[in-house]
Structure formats: C-alpha cells, structure tokens
A and B are shown apart, each in its own frame.
Chain A
Amino acid sequence: MKLDAKIKKNLPGFQLESTIQADAGSIVLWGASGAGKTLTLNCLAGFSRPDSGRILLGDDLLYDGATGVHVPPQRRRCGYLFQNHALFPHMTVMENLNFAAGVSRQKSRQKIRDLLEVFELQDLAQRKPAQMSGGQQQRAALARALVTEPRLLLLDEPTQGLDARLKSGFFDLLRETRQRTDALILLVTHDLDECFEIGEYICLLDGGKVIQAGFKDAVFAKPASVQVARSLGIYNAVPAEIEFLDPGRNLSRLRMLGTTWNGSYFPGHLLGDKGFATFRETSVKISRDPKDAVLPVLALKPYSRGVRLELEGGLASVISETEARGLRPGASVRVQIEPADIGFLSK
C-alpha cells in the first residue's frame, strides 16, 4: 500500500505543511510535541479537513483540495488507535469487536475469534474496558481496529506512558499485527526507541513541516540538516572547518573543539568549508590513545543505556556504566570518534 499525502492546513499560530510519500510497510512520524503529528494523523483519518493538498492511499483519492474531494472517515478504512484506546466504555471487549464488525459490514465471526486468540483476549472478552489494564485495553483496541480490515492503521503515540516491559510487549504486538494485515502502519511518536523498533520509513516533523524523510538507516546515518540532527536529540552538531580532503584515500581532516579530527571524505564540500560536524552521541568513545583529544568533563547523567557524558564544547557521549566509573565533573577525558561516523553539514 502506497501513501502519498500532501497536507496543508492553517490554524491560528500554526501552519501545517506535511508531505508523506512512502511505500514502506511502516512509517514513523517523528517529532516533538506541537510539531503537527496528531493533526497530520487526523487529516489522514478524515477527522480534520486540510485547507489544500491531496491524500492518495493506494489508488484511492481520500482528499483533494483542488476538486473538493473529502471522503468521510467512515469510508476511508483507516484504523485509528487512540492514546486512550477509546474502547467503548459501555460495551464488553466482545461487543466492541462486534460493533466494529457490524458497522464495517465485516460479518466474520471466525475473524473475531482469531483476533481474540492472537491478542490473548479470550478470557477478557466479557470484560468492560474499566475492568482491564492499559495494556489489555491496547490489545483490545488494536484487535477492534483490525476487525474492519483497515488499509491504513494510524497509531497515536501508542507507547506513551508505558514502562519498558509494556513497551516491548507493544512492539511484539505490533509485529504480530504486521503479520496479520496488509495495512500500511503509520505511527506517531516522539520516542526514539519506537522509531528504531518500528519505523522502516521515517518522516521527521518540526514546526508543522517535514524536515527530512526517508528510510530509517538513511535518516539516522545522515541527518539532512543541523536542525534534524539537533531535533533527533542523539546527535552532536559541533562547529567545524574542513582542513584537508582526499577523495582518493577517502580521507578528511576537520578542525573542531580546538583540535584536528580524522573523517572520511565529504563529497560536495571544499577545503576551508565551515559548518557542522554531526555524529551520534554513541559514536564518541573514550580512548587511551595519547594522540587523541583531551576534553574536560562537565557532567555525567544517567541515561537509558548507560551514562550520558557531557563534555566541554557541547559534545556529548553515551558510555557504559563501567567506563563512567571514576569519572567526575572537572576531570578530563580522552575521546575519539570513528572517522566513518562523522558527517558534515555546511552552514
């Protein structure tokens, strides 16, 4: 299923201009809160009408500003998983699924039985949402959405507020879902774990605009701008100048933080170019090589996987707890960066 959407909408104090063109199985719409993610989702589902643009899902035109086509949500076949799951509170799980089957004219009892089994809901079928945990509600909501055989499954920050165990449970659930549906999955999040875990194709949204889109590896390997690198939150973007370039040996040297660093060749850039060196925080390693740069430690902060080491010059590194042992703010540390991991962005 291919999604080709160009959505423009003006709200007081906010302009949305998002473009999503993806042919992947799962798309992640990533951005900070207020970036326009949920509004994009609502436009795709048909709850919000764009001012202009076009939404094409497969061969079906869902919205076209030029001709005034606006297919109502009922006929878009977009499953929508809300943050609060939105299971109908006056119905049991079974009734929720039956409702979905009834109104979407999907009369398969067998399918409902299958879904209850796959999502481990058989024992909960006669329960009402208020008698279920958040994780159980999420499974039921996903099952309900799948009853209608959606072509596009929209997930609004599904792991927000979940602890690590429930989060990994959700990833399993989503893998299971992907095996059971041809639907294109579009997930909105500002959680990088989720981005890595689920996204094949990633759209980065900031201030209502898509600032970079592409397949996951490409986006994370080479942020297209300093803005992208910064908004991802896992990148260093350090002012740098190119001192040496050798395409033949795929080498470069950068001047940053008062010393010289080795990098690989930067195509399209010239000697003396000033800009930003970008590299993942995890690419910055502690070294014992006396040739490497020495930087003072500003702070050590606990991080999801180890310790985040903040160094002078705005450099940050993620290191293991073992490596962090003995390090204190004020001490100095020798660091190196894998040359191939460094990218360069002109100003």
Chain B
Amino acid sequence: MSSPASPSSAPASTVDWFPLFLSLRVAGLATAAVFIFGTAIAYALSHKTFRGKAFVESVITLPLVLPPTVLGYYLLVLLGRDSLPGIIYEKVFGQPLVFTWQAAVVAALIHSGPLYIRAARAVLETVDYRFEWAARSLGASELQTFFRITLPIAWRGLSSLVSLSFARSLGDFGVTMMVAGNIPDRTQTLSVAIYDAVEAGNGALARVLVIAVSGLAILLVWASGSLSSGERVGGVQ
C-alpha cells in the first residue's frame, strides 16, 4: 500500500479493475434497457393521450426527488426474495435478484431512466408532426412511421441522451448499495469501490478509480455534446 502523498507510485498491476469492468457491464445493460423501454415510454407520453398519463408522469419523476435509500428500500421490498417479482425471478434464473450484480443493473436503470425519459420526450416532441402525418397519409403503419420517420429524425438528439444516460448509469451509488450491496468481486461497482477504498484508507486506489470515472464521464459528456450539435434536421420550423 502506498502513502496518500504519492498516489502515482501505486503500480497499476495492484489495482483491482473488476469494479470498472462490472460498472461498464452494468451501465451498458441498463442503458440498453433505458433506450428501449425509455424511448417507448417517452414516445407514448409525447404522442398519445391515454388514461393515467399524469400518474405515469408522476411515477417517472419520483426517482428524481426521492432519497436513494428510500428508492433502494422500495426496490428491496419490490424485488426481495419474498416478493412476487423476486420469487418469479428466482424460479426463472435459479438465483435471487437482490445482492447480485444484476440488481445493480436495476439500480442503474432507476438512476438514469427518469432523466432519459423526460429528455427523450422533449426530443420526440420537437419532431414536426407533419412528417408523421405525411407518412401515415402515404399509408405507413404506426410502427413504420415510428421506425422510419420519427426515430431517424429524432436520432441525433436521442443518441446524445443515450450517451449521457450511460454516464449517469455509471454513477449510481445509493440504490446500488441498498439492493446490490458491496460484495468485492461480485457486486462492487466503481462508485461503491471508491467509497470502500476511502473507508479503508486506501487513498491510492480511490484516486485511481476517481480518475477513471472522471475520465469516462468527460469522454461521454463530450460524445453527447458532439452528437447533439451540428446541423439539426426535422425540427419544428
């Protein structure tokens, strides 16, 4: 162990990179799920009127305002080994969901989903409805209209959000601690590992991980920015 004064003296080989790879895997899966389901929900919110829309909107906003511990508690109750979803999950996959790395995916999803849905809704609302109407009047089905008109026109905006969403998925701490725990080499994600390293007085490890997370975040924010800039097509005139 090196002294906190000389972090650079820590040889890279002694750093356990497991949390980084786990976080990338967790964030990747969470982002994929957020993109698929989040875009569908955002489309419904931006294009359809249905009963209970206000309720759905509130439920989506809640994770943004509730403390992570409260969210984590709800998830433990909802997905725990005694809950119906938990029992079903255990039957299907042969292991419980809570306190596995898969639970960290759920935590990351809760962390990044609401912001993605809110922003994606705004992006989808800027797609001029006349493009969609034109497609329908030519005979395109709702699905054809979505996949060949709405989605491609909104793509630039959405891909920028996906990049941000990935960055945000990397960063969940509170909910992950509650539902996935802090099991080294099993559920310990980057942010949890940093907390752990600081708690254990391992300043060198903490610094390396902090720099890794910061670098990744900067890269993703830059990617998001460069995806959303440039010539916009198909916005409302």
- Chain A residues at the B interface, C-beta cutoff of 8 Å: 45-47, 72-80, 82, 84, 86, 88-90, 99-100, 103-105, 130, 144-145, 147-148
Asked if B237 is an interface residue, CB under 8 A from chain A, the answer is yes
Q: A80-B133, A82-B130, A105-B139 are in contact. List 19 more A-B contacts (CB 8 A).
A: A45-B133, A73-B136, A73-B137, A74-B136, A74-B140, A78-B137, A79-B138, A82-B133, A84-B130, A84-B237, A88-B135, A88-B149, A90-B152, A90-B153, A90-B233, A99-B135, A103-B140, A104-B139, A145-B138
A90 touches B133 (CB 8 A): no
B138 touches A103 (CB 8 A): yes
Residues of A near B140 (CB, < 8 A) are 74, 99, 103
B131 touches A89 (CB 8 A): yes
- Chain B residues at the A interface, C-beta cutoff of 8 Å: 128, 130-131, 133-141, 144, 148-149, 152-153, 231, 233-234, 237
Residue of A nearest to B156 (CB): A90
B139 touches A74 (CB 8 A): yes
A–B pairs, 10, beta carbons within 8 Å:
A73-B137, A74-B136, A74-B139, A88-B134, A88-B153, A88-B234, A103-B141, A144-B138, A145-B137, A145-B138
Cβ of B136 to closest chain A Cβ, rounded Å: 4
State A79–B137 Cα separation when bound (angstroms): 6
A104 touches B138 (CB 8 A): yes
B133 touches A86 (CB 8 A): yes
Residue of A nearest to B155 (CB): A90
Residues of A near B234 (CB, < 8 A) are 88-90
State A74–B131 Cα separation when bound (angstroms): 14
Residues of B near A84 (CB, < 8 A) are 128, 130, 237
- Residue in A76, A82, A104 whose CB lies within 8 Å of B134: A82
Residues of B near A72 (CB, < 8 A) are 136
A86 touches B130 (CB 8 A): yes
Residue of B nearest to A78 (CB): B137
- Residue in B138, B149, B231 whose CB lies within 8 Å of A148: B138
Ordered nearest first, which 9 A-B pairs have the shortest CB separation?
A104-B139, A103-B140, A86-B134, A89-B234, A86-B130, A89-B233, A80-B137, A73-B136, A100-B138
B131 touches A86 (CB 8 A): yes
A73 touches B141 (CB 8 A): no
Cβ of A105 to closest chain B Cβ, rounded Å: 7
B149 touches A103 (CB 8 A): no
Residue of B nearest to A154 (CB): B137
B136 touches A89 (CB 8 A): no
Residues of A near B137 (CB, < 8 A) are 45-47, 73-74, 76, 78-80, 145
- Supposing A89-B153, A90-B153, A130-B233 touch, asked if A99 and B148 sit within 8 A by C-beta, the answer is yes
A148 touches B139 (CB 8 A): yes
State A102–B74 Cα separation when bound (angstroms): 48
Residues of B near A130 (CB, < 8 A) are 231, 233
State A76–B140 Cα separation when bound (angstroms): 12
State A103–B148 Cα separation when bound (angstroms): 11
Residues of A near B131 (CB, < 8 A) are 86, 88-89
